[in-house]
């Protein structure tokens, strides 16, 4: 993940949101990007070479499955995708929710969980009249992302419940929903006792 920077994240995020595809010209707006068009074009080419973007017949770039798996891996729990996202740069809880396209309460719950595990730190930041919670990944979080193993294949149907057990015995309860892009909906975090009830 260290191969990516904030501009890569923005491009992949815009490509994921777009139905028809994007181009450097389309998204080089002052409120979205500060780099010039040539730097953006080079970034697009690099992401295409990494097979994270593909070009359609209209010359627009669309995100690939590999591109989606960079930050939005459907088999990864939300907290794991948050760690991958925070390796790029410190972000607020609202920004994390925006990029991962997840509800803010679920993101806040997952961020608090990984903060308690020592994977990220939270720093209050005052912006105008608002107090933001900024999250930054710690070395333990980076190491966890690097060593995260592969996931077992599961056959499920919409409505099924999935419990992810963490190393400390606690867990997260998900519901399988009929959505190919985001098939997991986080329901709640579970204590060790609650996890044992699902075994």
Strands (E), 36-129: 53-55, 61-63, 91-92, 120-127
Q: Which residue has the higher pLDDT, 29 or 62?
A: 62
- The CA distances from residue 191 to 46, 171, 188, in Å, are 43, 7, 10
With cut-offs at 50, 70 and 90, classify the pLDDT of residue 152: very low
Query: Could you tell me whether strands 120-127 and 130-137 are parallel, antiparallel, or unpaired per DSSP bridges?
Result: antiparallel
Considering 68, 89, 119, which residue would you say is the last residue of a domain? 68
pLDDT of residue 36: 72
* Total count of domains within the chain: 2
pLDDT band at 184 (very low <50, low <70, confident <90, very high): confident
| pTM across the whole model | 0.68
Share of the chain above pLDDT 70, in %: 88
Query: How far, in whole angstroms, is CA 118 from its chain's centroid?
Result: 19
What's 28's domain CATH number? 1.10.10.10
Average pLDDT, rounded, for the chain: 85
Burial 103-123 (b: 16+ CB within 10 A, else e): eeebbebbbbbbbebebbeee
Identify whether 119 is part of a domain: yes
**pLDDT, tens digit (0-9, with 9 covering 90-100), for 42-87:** 899 999 999 999 998 888 999 999 999 999 988 888 999 999 999 9
Same domain flag for 135 and 178: yes
CB atoms within 10 A of CB 140: 13
Which residues lie below 8 Å from residue 180, measured CB to CB, with a gap of 6+? 74
Regarding whether 174 and 78 lie in a shared domain, the answer is: yes
Tokens of 139: 């070395």
| Residues 82 and 110 placed together within one structural domain of the fold | yes
- Residues 46, 136, single domain; the answer is no
pLDDT at 91: 95
């Amino acid at each position: 993940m260290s191969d990516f920077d904030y501009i890569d994240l923005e491009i992949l995020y815009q490509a994921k949101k777009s139905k028809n595809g994007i181009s450097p010209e389309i998204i080089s707006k002052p409120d979205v990007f500060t780099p010039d068009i040539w730097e953006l074009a080079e970034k697009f080419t690099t992401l295409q070479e990494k097979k994270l973007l593909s070009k359609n017949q209209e010359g627009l770039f669309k995100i690939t499955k590999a591109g989606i798996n960079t930050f939005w891996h459907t088999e990864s729990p939300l907290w794991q995708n948050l760690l991958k996202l925070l390796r790029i740069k410190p972000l607020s809880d609202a920004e994390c929710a925006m990029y991962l396209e997840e509800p803010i309460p679920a993101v806040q719950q997952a961020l608090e969980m990984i903060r308690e595990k020592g994977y990220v730190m939270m720093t209050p930041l005052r912006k105008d009249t608002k107090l933001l919670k900024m999250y930054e990944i710690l070395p333990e979080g980076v190491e966890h992302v690097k060593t995260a193993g592969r996931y077992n294949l599961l056959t499920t149907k919409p409505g099924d419940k999935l419990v992810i057990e963490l190393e400390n015995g606690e867990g997260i309860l998900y519901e399988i929903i009929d959505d190919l892009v985001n098939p997991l909906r986080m329901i709640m975090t579970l204590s060790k006792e609650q996890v044992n009830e699902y075994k």
